[in-house]
Chain A
Amino acid sequence: MDSLSKLDEVKTTPWSGGREPWSIEYGKIMMWFFLVSDAFTFSSFLIYYGAQKFAQPTWIDADKIFQSIPGIADHGQPLVFVGIMTFILIMSSVTMVLAVEAGHRNSKKEVVKWMIWTILGGIAFVGCQALEWTHLHHVGFWFGQNPATGLTDPAAISAALQPYFTHDISYTAALQFSNLFFTITGFHGFHVTVGIILNIIILCMVLNNTFEKRGTYLMIEKVGLYWHFVDLVWVFVFTFFYLI
């Protein structure tokens, strides 16, 4: 009797078994752990960008390379287009968290509305990124390429890269910038694309009454976590590529 009551006693604290100490659903914990590991990947990319910047005597000036608003101005408008992109992504993060909130109230109609807005925001963001990539590709930047690629005459190299530098001009710095820009924003854009697909799948499940039958809209929270993470990464990409 005594030992039995002791066994019961052991189970009263959160970490002694029989309970879920974090009281979070398993899938949600796994989503968090995945995002932590993904944060490591993005951190490594951005840290390498920083290390390159420290290792080069000069670097591309963000105010000079990001000057176009596709369809409106080809140059002369620094940071405006990325401002629009940042606003779109923050906005879609808000509509996502509104969908999660509606899910807590089991309000299918509102979940559908906010999920559609989130998907539209995501598509708009990826579209903007495609336009920006197209512009940069058009002026000569690409993986392993910059506007001076193929030139051998120092004066020609210097002239081709001059519009993008404020201080000294370096072919290697321009090349590293180009590689890292397309790799990192590409990896981020890939994440946004995956997020859009996940959101569409979840939207279909909502319309299909899957969560209504399940009794909980917890799945919205899980894709929501992923979507906010994508926004979080953009906050850092924006700072390190466009501001600094």
Chain B
Amino acid sequence: MANHDHTLDSHDAHAHGEGMGVKRIWQVFGILLFITAIEFLVALGFVHHWHIVAKGPALYAFYVVLTLIKAYYIVAFFMHLKFEKKSFIISCSIVFIFIIYFIVLMLIEGGYLLNHLQEHSVYPNK
């Protein structure tokens, strides 16, 4: 029990030392809002209304990069992961190697099915 209390105390001190102050919270919120605003500007403005940018792999990659930046800020700051011990950060994040592998695997599979098992009707859009 004593050990348990000690852990909580040290965690508290830790959080006070380099954690999330109110100012930091609003900064991260500003960044998230800014990135979301860019996404909307591109999706609604550049793509939908003004037709400056066409939909395609480059645009999708742009969206995914912005999404990953947003995910980083949420996990690192809001979920406080950046301020945990390095070994804990590695433990929680290294497993996503399998997800990357799974993405590559399934998209290749999807591409294969497109060319080899296409039996559903497709109607032209006038």
Q: What residues make up the interface of A, taking CB atoms closer than 8 Å to B? A: 20-25, 29, 32-33, 36, 39-40, 43-44, 47-48, 50-58, 63, 78-80, 83, 86-87, 90, 93-94, 96-98, 100-101, 104, 154, 157-158, 161-162, 165-173, 215-216, 218, 221, 224-225, 228-229, 231-232, 235-236, 238-239, 242-244
Q: Give the interface SS of chain B, mostly helix, strand, loop or mixed.
A: helix
Q: Give the interface SS of chain A, mostly helix, strand, loop or mixed.
A: helix
Within the complex, the shortest CB–CB distance from A189 to chain B, in Å, comes to: 19
User: What residues on A are CB-neighbors of B110 within 8 Å?
Assistant: 50-55
Please tell me if the beta carbons of B64 and A239 are within 8 angstroms of each other in the complex: yes
- Is B53's CB within 8 Å of the partner chain A? no
Please tell me if the beta carbons of B63 and A244 are within 8 angstroms of each other in the complex: yes
- Interchain CB contact (< 8 A) of B25 among A52, A98, A157, A166: A98
Q: A80: nearest residue on chain B (CB-CB)?
A: B44
- Interchain CB contact (< 8 A) of A78 among B48, B85, B125: B48
User: What residues on A are CB-neighbors of B124 within 8 Å?
Assistant: 168-169
A163 to B38, CA, bound (A): 27
User: Which chain B residues (77-104) contact chain A, with CB distance < 8 Å?
Assistant: 77-80, 84-85, 87-88, 92, 95-96, 98-99, 102-103
- Chain B 10-50 interface 0/1 with A at a Cβ cutoff of 8 Å (1 = within): 11101110011110011001001100100110011001100
User: What residues on B are CB-neighbors of A172 within 8 Å?
Assistant: 120
Within the complex, the shortest CB–CB distance from B76 to chain A, in Å, comes to: 11
User: What residues on A are CB-neighbors of B39 within 8 Å?
Assistant: 239, 243
| CB within 8 Å for A24 and B11 given contacts A47-B102, A55-B114, A78-B44 | yes
| CB within 8 Å for A48 and B48 given contacts A25-B7, A90-B33, A104-B16 | no
User: What residues on B are CB-neighbors of A231 within 8 Å?
Assistant: 74, 78
User: What residues on B are CB-neighbors of A79 within 8 Å?
Assistant: 40, 43-44, 48
Please tell me if the beta carbons of A57 and B114 are within 8 angstroms of each other in the complex: yes
User: What residues on B are CB-neighbors of A239 within 8 Å?
Assistant: 39, 63-64, 66-67
Please tell me if the beta carbons of A54 and B78 are within 8 angstroms of each other in the complex: no
- Is B107's CB within 8 Å of the partner chain A? yes
What are 30 contact pairs spanning A and B, CB under 8 A?
A23-B14, A23-B85, A24-B7, A25-B8, A25-B11, A36-B95, A40-B99, A47-B103, A51-B107, A54-B110, A54-B113, A55-B113, A56-B114, A87-B36, A90-B29, A90-B32, A100-B20, A101-B21, A161-B123, A162-B125, A162-B126, A169-B122, A169-B124, A218-B11, A228-B74, A228-B75, A235-B70, A239-B63, A242-B43, A243-B39
| CB within 8 Å for A168 and B107 given contacts A23-B14, A40-B99, A98-B22 | no
Please tell me if the beta carbons of B36 and A54 are within 8 angstroms of each other in the complex: no
A173 to B114, CA, bound (A): 12
| CB within 8 Å for A57 and B36 given contacts A44-B102, A78-B44 | no
Extra inter-chain contacts (10) besides given A25-B4, A39-B99, A87-B36, CB under 8 Å: A23-B85, A25-B7, A32-B92, A47-B102, A55-B114, A86-B36, A90-B33, A216-B8, A229-B79, A232-B71
Q: B104: nearest residue on chain A (CB-CB)?
A: A47
Within the complex, the shortest CB–CB distance from B78 to chain A, in Å, comes to: 5
Please tell me if the beta carbons of A235 and B79 are within 8 angstroms of each other in the complex: no
Which of B10, B29, B122 has the most A CB atoms < 10 Å from its CB? Answer: B122
